[in-house]
Structure 1
Amino acid sequence: MITAETIDRILRFNSGGIPVLSVYVGVDEGTGSRSAVRTRLSSLMHDIRPLTEDRSLGHEARLSLRNDINRIEDPVRADLVGPGTLVTFACSAAGLFEELRLPRTVRDRVVVDVTPWVRPMVAVLDEYHRACVAAVDRATAQLWELHLGEMHPVGSVRARTLRKPDFAGWHGLVEHRVRNKADTLTRRHFHQVATVLDDLFRVEGYELLIVGGHQEDVPGFLKFLPKAIRPKVAGTFDIDEATGREAEIRRTAEGIVDRYEREEERRLVAEVMERVAVGDAAAAGLDQCLWAGSTAAIQLLLVQDGATAPGVVCDESGWLATVGEACPLCGARTRRTPDVIDELVEAVMATGGSIEHVLADTTLKQHMVAASLRFPLPPVPRAG
């Protein structure tokens, strides 16, 4: 499981100027997946192997790259081979070797730069909200955690059962009392489940709640949820004995989360673009957003999924731009980067901003990036 600590460690990694190898390889299902991954890794490594003989790189850099390539071509760990993407970050000279598995496939890519190329990883992880799934009926409740394409149980609740009357007579009155008692026990059960969910959300910090149950029961159960949890309900689904298997519940819950994510993306893009239109603290387009990232002004960065652009970065001042031999802020020589949007993502995360990669079809496609800002931008300096 990818942890926040792992991501933070990769983001903060400092190679000291030695090239970092970032590799993304899609993994298909099937018994031959490990062999297929090795073949695709070898093909990617073949493309960059000439760099190990490039005299424009120092001896230590060439040796580090050679060691990284050889290690990446070693047999892949079995626990990392499954549907999704195998990600490797390597820089042997600086002690970096991280292997991770993402839950969905991204395009095969290898990038050599002085910083890890993290944006495809961040983009995938951004889609996977940590959610709690609750399948509730009048007698039981099963609770699961859903995250990164995996679902595992986190609790269950069973209601007190109603004993069947052991006497006859006065059938109408008895039936009425039994129905009232059953309704009372159901309300108590729903209240108990809501209390358990409240405790789970407080302790585990789930972002979303997905509720499944019989169509006639779900609305009544939702009324028992604490006010703090109600806005986190991403959706509900109908469940019965025919569709109550865990694998089907997981697929249904993932579909709800996916729809929630696309709706959230459209809402965020609309809000930021509206702020741009009225001249509020917002920016749209690569040049403006790079300058906003250079000044630590970005609160929320929206990035069109799959968008890349070459550019330059100043490692002294943090200045980002599409072109420029010298930094206009400090005069230092800039470093070329194959993806300046990736550098922008890292800069925003380092200054406490948020990232939202947008897969939905929105007007962001025209701009690649847009941002909500903490403060209005100062004038843009001229590039050297």
Structure 2
Amino acid sequence: MITTETISRITRFNGGEVPVVSLYAKAGQDGPAALRTQVNSLLHEIRPLTEDASLGRPARLSVRGDIQRIEGLEGLERMGPGAVAIFSCSEGDFFEQVNLPRGVRDRVVVGATPWVRPMLAVLNEYHPACVLVVDRRSAQAWELYQDEMREIREFRDPALRKPNYAGWYGLMEHRVRNRADDLTKRHFRNVVRVLDELFRAGGHELLIVGGHPEEVPNFLEFLPYDLRPKVAGTFTIDAWTATPTDIRHSAERIVEQYERDEERRRVAEVMEAAAMRRPVALGLDECLWAGSVAAVRTLLVQEGATAPGVVCDESGWLATSGDTCPLCGRATRRTPDVIDDLAQAVIDESGAVEHVLADTQLKAHNVAAALRFPLPRRAPQDTLT
């Protein structure tokens, strides 16, 4: 399972004079052998580097070792749907393989640092969710994260089987109904108490509630104030006949809709801020400058957007071109995707990165950012044309 700790561990590696091979390939598309074929095809793209005289001997040897190690990987044929991300630097004694829960674009990148932005995009799509299926006498709590769901709690409380039947009890019908209502309320309070414990323990960002349409709204009334904003949605299901697969599919639809709505909201907030002349950056040039001066609070990146550029590893300056850093005078290094370097720089400065799949105004800019402070003016030689 991909985690922020996994990404942090990978991004901390720097090969120095020897490059890192970063490879992404889809799995489960056209049969078990297709992934192996695709990986080999991507490796074929970088084979010329092993004979490239412009690279130092250690770099050529490292790429050759990376190709051999990746070609020898076992178990690729047994992977299910999703994708595999591989990071290798044989001369730096570095290797990581991460299985991703969804497909990403097939690509291989050779650079000074691991190319992790596709992993970031995948990770940002997944919010740990608590899925609750509840009725008047039972409840099941599940944890849903990265296409995996596991049951974490199940319990029942006493309830009258037929709350509208007085029968041999000799009680008036309304007294039976009141008793049933009291038991249901007690049950709902018990469920809320368990939910509160789960969320206080951490690990869950969203709450999804399923059940009968006449019971779910009543249950939601018992949620405390701090849990109500975490409700991402509800769905109709029968707790006694539903299978785990039924529950999972219903919850996944809600999470996906929540993600797209969240993306639209964040883009709308940035565009509104731009219209009101608040600190934002629109477009690659402005966002790179904002990243260079650690001004980015939240970076929005259109899914699939890439752009070549340059980076100064000394000052952190980012741009689409330039052989010399205008901030420190050092030589820059070229990067096949400066947006990826920008995303990593934002994360290093405790900012947030959101990859946007939804159809929004961001498509006109590819990248945009909410800023911590207004951008300082650049000197004429710093301004890109």
Query: Alpha carbons of 1:333 and 1:164: their partners in 2 closer, same or farther (altered >3 Å)?
Result: closer
Where do 1:70-149 residues align within 5 Å? Answer: 70-77=68-75, 81-149=79-147
Q: Classify the secondary structure of the residue corresponding to 1:329.
A: coil
C-alpha separation in 1, matches of 2:268 and 2:104: 26
Quick one: distance in 1 between partners of 2:241 and 2:162? 29
**Residue 159 of structure 1: aligned partner:** 157
Q: Which residue number in structure 2 is paired with residue 318 of structure 1?
A: 316
Matches within 5 A, 1:322-333: 322-333=320-331
Superposition deviation, residue 98 in structure 1 = 0.7
Task: Give CA deviations for 1:272-325 in whole Å, capped at 9, x if unaligned.
Answer: 011112211111110000000000000000000000000000011000000111
CA shift in 2, pair 1:78/1:204, >3 Å: farther
Q: Relative to structure 2, which stretch is displaced further, 186-195 or 174-183?
A: 174-183
Letter paired with 2:279: A
Give the match's secondary structure for 1:236. strand
Change over 3 Å in CA distance of 1:213–1:357 after alignment to 2: same
Query: Is 1:186 the counterpart of 2:184 in the alignment?
Result: yes
1:299 is matched with which residue? 297
Matched residue, 1:266 = 264
Q: Is the 8 A contact 1:311 1:336 kept in 2?
A: yes
Counterparts of 1:383 and 1:27 in 2: how far apart (Å)? 43
Structure 2 unmatched runs, 5+: none
Query: What corresponds to 1:50 in structure 2?
Result: 48
Which moves more between the two structures, 374-383 or 97-106? 374-383
C-alpha separation between the residues in 1 aligned to 2:15 and 2:3?
21
1:62 maps onto 2:60 in alignment: yes
Work out the CA distance in 2 between the residues paired with 1:231 and 1:2.
Answer: 26
Change (3 A) 1:54 1:235: same
1:28 aligns with 2:28: yes
Please tell me the residue identity of whatever aligns with 2:255: V
Q: State the partner residue of 1:207.
A: 205
Aligned-partner residue type, residue 91 of structure 1: C
Residues of 2 paired with 1:93 and 1:170: CA distance? 81
Give the secondary structure class of the aligned counterpart of 1:99: strand
Gaps of 5+ in 1: none
Residue equivalent to 2:13: 13
Identity level (%): 61
The alignment of Structure 1 onto Structure 2 pairs a total of residues equal to 381
TM-score normalised by structure 2 residue count: 0.95
Counterpart of 2:115 in structure 1: which amino acid? W
CA distance in 2, matches of 1:93, 1:302: 35
Q: CA deviation at 1:4?
A: 2.3
Moved segments of 4+, more than 6 Å: none
Distance 1:241 1:143, change over 3 A: closer
The one-letter amino acid of 2:262's match is: E
What TM-score do the two structures reach when normalised by structure 1? Answer: 0.95
